[in-house]
Chains A and B, each alone.
Chain A
C-alpha cells in the first residue's frame, strides 16, 4: 500500500513569477552592445540619402587616408563573394526583387547601405562616414501606392511592373453571392506605415574564432538558427563552419525576424580583417534600416442579406512593400488575405493581395503581421453594416460568427509558410458576449452616451473580434538532460527576446518530471549549444517549443524509469513516477531520485543493459500538426476631448483564448504589450515620407511611442479552448494584443464621433490635430 500523499501542485496554469526578471531588472542583462572582445574594430555603414538614385561615383580616398580607418568596401569589392539577401516567403510566381548587401549601382530607399567601412574606434568610424564621397544622379521616387501602381517609374525596370507578388484566395462562388445579395457595401481603408521599434536596436559582433577558425556571429535576432543558414547561403560557407549567438535580445516584434545586410557585412569583414567586427545600430539608423510594417490599402465589397447574414466578401489589398524583398515580405499580405473574415462564417470569399514596390524601407512582419489590418477592415465593416441595417453591433457579429459546433472549419484559404487555414477550436461568441458585458456595451449604452454628450463628453465603445494564426511549424527541437545532482538542463531551439521562455519552459518540464522549478536551467540562443532550432515568431514558442521541451522531459522520465527498473531489478510496471523519483509500487520507501538515476546512468563500471546509452538525456522534435488559431475580443471605451482632439482611453477589455494557459501573468503581459503597440499605431506612431521619398521621422522625437503613462488599465479574461493539434492543448498568445487593438480603438473613435457624421476609413495615427479635424469648429465650449 502506498502512502497517500497530497497531490503535487502543478506549475502549468500558475502565475509563476518570471525567473529571468531579477537579472534583467538589476541591469545584469548581456546584450550585443555589452560584448567587448579584445581587438574589436568598428563597422559603420554609408547609407543612401536619396529615395531613388543612380550611383555615379564612390570615392573613399579621403576616408582611407584617415588614421584608424582600416577599409572601405563598396558593391564591386564584394559582389563576387556574397549572394543577395534571401526572401523565404516568396510565392512561386513572385517576381525577383532581392536586395544586395550594398547597393548595386542604384539606391532605392533612404538608408540603404551604399558602402561599409571599418575603423579602430566607433567614433572614428562615424567620423569617416562623412569622408566617403558618393555622387548620385537622381531618379524619380515612387513614394505613394498610387505612384507605384501607375507604373510610370519602375524600381526594377527589368520586371516591367512594381507589383511583384499577387496572392489569390478563392472560396465558394463570390459572383453568385453578390448577385443574390440584398445589400452591397464597398469601402477602401488606408493603413499607415509604422514600425516595431524594439527598445534595443539591432547590433552584431562577428569574429573568426581563433581556436576552431569558425565564423561566429553574435546578433540581436529572433532566430539564430535561421541566420546561420542564411549566412551560410550568402557567403558560401558550410553551416558547420558558422556559429550564431543571440544573447539577451531587447525586443524584436518581427523587426529581428529578418536577416539584414549588416549581418552579412560584419562577418565578411571579420573574415577579411581577422579581427572582431562590431556594429551597433543607432536609433536614427533603425528608423530607416530596420524593417517597417503595416502599410496597406484594402478595398472590400461585402454582400449582405436583409436579415444581416454576410454572404460574401470580395477583397483587394495592396501592401507597400518598400524597395525590395525582405526575409519575410509577402507574409503580411498573405495573412491579411487569408484571415480577413476573422470569426465570421462568410461562405464566399475572394481576395487578391498585391505586394507593391515603393522607394521606402522594406516592409516586413510586425507583431500580428497582416492580422491587425485585416481585423480593422472586417470589424469596421461589421459596424458599417450594423449601422446601415439598424442592427445591434454585438447581435450582428454573433449572427455571423462560427459556433463551436461548426469547428473545425476549413476556411479554404492558406497562409504562406504556414499552410491551410483550418480553424481548430474556440468559442468566438462567448468571448464577444463576455467582452461586451465587461465594457458595458448593452441596451443602455446609447442613452448613457447621449447623456454624457449633453455634458460635453464624447464617449465611444469599439469592438474587435479576432482569430489569429499561431503556433506555426514546421517543428521545434529540445534536449533535456539531468546531472548527478538531479539538476535539469533544458535546451530549446526557440530563442526568446522577452517572452519569458525560461519561466514557461521550466514550468512545463517541472510538471512533467514533478520537480521544483528552481532545479531547471533553460539554455537557448547559441547554435553551438542548441544545434537545431527554428526561432521565436508567429506566436509559436510556448506551444511548439514548449511541447518539444515537455516531450523531451517525458523521454528522460521514461529512460529514468527503465534505469530504475534495472538498478532495482524489478519490472518497470512495478514502478511509478512521483515527486521527481521512481517509486516501487506498494513500497513507498523504496525509490530512486532523478539525481540517483542520473548517476546510475553514467556509472562506467555498471553499464546499462541492452545497449542503453549512457547519461540521462532525452531529445524530442515536436512537429506542428497544423496551425492553431487563437481568438479574442477587444473592447475599448474612450473619451474624445472635442476641444483639443485628445483621446483618453477610459477602459480596455480583452477576452481571449489561447488554449491551455501555461502562465497567466505572462499571457497578460503579452496582451498588455500588444495593446500598447496597437495604441501607439492608432494614436501616435507614424513613418511619413515627403514627396521626394525622404522619411520625416528621423528620431524618437518625431516618432512617438506610448509609455507606461499613456496606458489605460487593461482588464483581461481568459478562456481556454485546448487545441487537439498540440499534445498539451497550447496555442500562441504573443500577438493577439497588437492584432485586436487598432480595430477596437478605431471603432470606439467612430462611435464617439459618429454624431458628427464621421466615417472612419483610416487606421490612424489619430493625433490630436487629425481628431479635431473631425469635430465641427462651431461646437459650443464646455
Chain B
C-alpha cells in the first residue's frame, strides 16, 4: 500500500507537538496508527504532515485522581485492558475494549486515538458518552480546556478539537460501588466493526437502581445517549421485567450505510434488543459481584 507523500515529525514535548500541528494546514496526529495508517495507504487521507506523538513525554500515563481515571493520549488499548486500575474502576471501558478489534490491533491502538477518530461504527464513543467522559483538549497556543463527551463528538469522523490542537487525555469517572457494566454489539463477524453497539452501566443502591448510563453507537453518525431508557430505570428494582420494559423505550433514527453493512431498518429493529442485552449483561455482572 502506498500513501501519498507527507512530512513526518516526531516531537518529544507537547509544546513541540503543538508547533508541528500548527505548521501546516491539515497536519494530523499519529498515535497508534491503527485507523489512520490504513486510510493513508488507501489515500483516503493525505495529510501533508504527520505528527507522531508516541515519544511525547507524559502522554503514556494511566492515573487515578479525584474519583476519575485518566488515560493519556498514547496509552494503548491493551495497556488499559491489562491494568488492575481499569479492571477495578472502569468495568464498562474494559467490557467495550475487549470488543475493539483483535489483540494485535489493541497492542498498538490507543484509547484516545480511537475516540478521536470517531468512526460511527466504533464501540468506545458509546462508552464515553454513557459515562460522561471528559477530554483534555489543548488549543494551538497550549491553553487547556475540558470538553465533555456529550460535546466532543460531532458528525462522523469529527470531534471538537480546534485546528492545530491536541487531545492529551480522556478521563472516565470511577464506577461507584454497586455498579455493573454490560456491553453488547452485533457485528458481521467476530471483532469486526459493530453494526450496532450498546453500552450500559447500572448502579444499585439499597436494592434499587440509583444510576443508569446507557448509550449506543452505529445508529446514526454520532453516539446516542438513551435518556428515556435511563429515566425508566432510575429508581426501579432490578428485575427482568424492568430491564425489558426500559429497553423497549430505546428509540433513535438510523442512517443508511453507504456500503450496505446493514440496513437502517435492521438497526432500528435491533436497537431495543441491543440495549436489552447490554442491560442484562450489566445486571449479570452485578449478580456476579454480589
CB atoms of A284 and B262 under 8 A apart: no
Kindly state whether residue B55 has any CB partner on chain A within 8 Å.
no
A127-B4, A696-B259 known; A284 vs B190 contact (CB < 8 Å): no
Judge whether A709 and B266 touch: CB under 8 Å: no
Query: Judging by beta carbons under 8 Å apart, are B263 and A704 in contact?
Result: no
Which chain A residues in 109-126 approach chain B with CB under 8 Å? 122-123, 125-126
Q: Looking at A705, A710, A769, which has the most chain B CB atoms within 10 Å of its CB?
A: A769
Q: How far is the CB of B252 from chain A (nearest CB, A)?
A: 17
If A126-B2, A772-B269 touch, whether A710 touches B259 (CB-CB below 8 Å) is no
Q: Is the CB of A768 within 8 A of B2?
A: no
| Cβ < 8 Å to A, chain B residues 189-206 | 189-193, 195
Contacts of A125 in B (CB 8 A): 2
Q: Which chain A residues border B274 with CB–CB below 8 Å?
A: 644
- Flag if A123 contacts B2 (CB, 8 Å): yes
A643 touches B270 (CB 8 A): yes
In which size bucket is the chain A interface?
20 to 34
Question: Interface size of B by Cβ–Cβ distance < 8 Å?
Answer: 31
Q: Is the CB of A707 within 8 A of B188?
A: no
**B106 CB-CB contact with A under 8 Å:** no
Interchain CB contact under 8 A, A710 and B189: yes
Do residues A768 and B190 form an inter-chain contact, with CB atoms below 8 A? no
Contact status B273-A284, CB under 8 Å: no
CB <8 Å contact, B190 and A707: yes
Q: Does B237 contact A (CB under 8 A)?
A: no
Cβ-Cβ contact count across A and B, 8 Å cutoff: 73
Q: A123-B2, A704-B188, A781-B244 are known contacts. Are A688 and B260 too (CB-CB below 8 A)?
A: yes
For A123, what are the chain B residues with a Cβ–Cβ distance below 8 Å? 2-3, 5
Q: Which of B1, B102, B262, B269 lies in contact with A282, CB distance below 8 A?
A: B1
CB proximity of B229 to chain A, nearest CB, Å: 15
Whether A767 is near chain B, meaning CB under 8 Å from some CB there, is yes
Residue A369 CB within 8 A of the other chain: no
Chain A residue at minimum C-beta to C-beta distance from B195: A768
Indicate if A3 sits at the interface (CB-CB under 8 A). no
Chain B contacts with A in 162-206, Cβ cutoff 8 A = 186, 188-193, 195
Shortest distance between the CB of B38 and any CB in chain A (Å): 8
CA of A282 to CA of B261 in the docked complex: distance in angstroms? Answer: 22
B102 CB contacts on chain A under 8 angstroms: 707
A641 nearest CB across to chain B (Å): 9
Judge whether A697 and B259 touch: CB under 8 Å: yes
Tell me if B2 and A709 are in contact (CB < 8 A): no
> Of all chain A residues, which has the CB nearest B274?
A644
CA distance A772 to B186 in the complex (A): 12
In angstroms, Cα B38 to Cα A699, docked, is: 10
Q: Mark A749-777, 1 if CB is under 8 A from B, else 0.
A: 00000000000000000011100110001
Is A212 close to B, CB under 8 A?
A: no
Question: Which residue on A lies nearest to B188, using beta carbons?
Answer: A704
Chain B hits for A699, CB < 8 A: 38, 42
| Docked CA distance A122–B5 (Å) | 12
In this complex, which of B5, B269, B276 has the most chain A Cβ atoms within 10 angstroms of its Cβ? B269
Distance in angstroms between the alpha carbons of A706 and B5 in the assembled complex: 34
Q: Report yes or no: A284 in contact with B2, Cβ–Cβ below 8 A.
A: no
Distance in angstroms from A198 CB to nearest chain B CB is 17
Q: How far is the CA of A448 from the CA of B223 in the complex (A)?
A: 42
Contacts of A707 in B (CB 8 A): 102, 189-191
At the interface, yes or no: A89 with Cβ under 8 Å from chain B?
no
Inter-chain contact A709/B193, CB cutoff 8 Å: no
What would 6 A/B residue contacts be, using CB atoms closer than 8 Å? Answer: A126-B2, A127-B4, A282-B2, A696-B260, A707-B190, A769-B263
Residues of B within 8 A of A (CB): 1-5, 38, 41-43, 102, 186, 188-193, 195, 244, 259-263, 265-266, 269-270, 273-274, 276
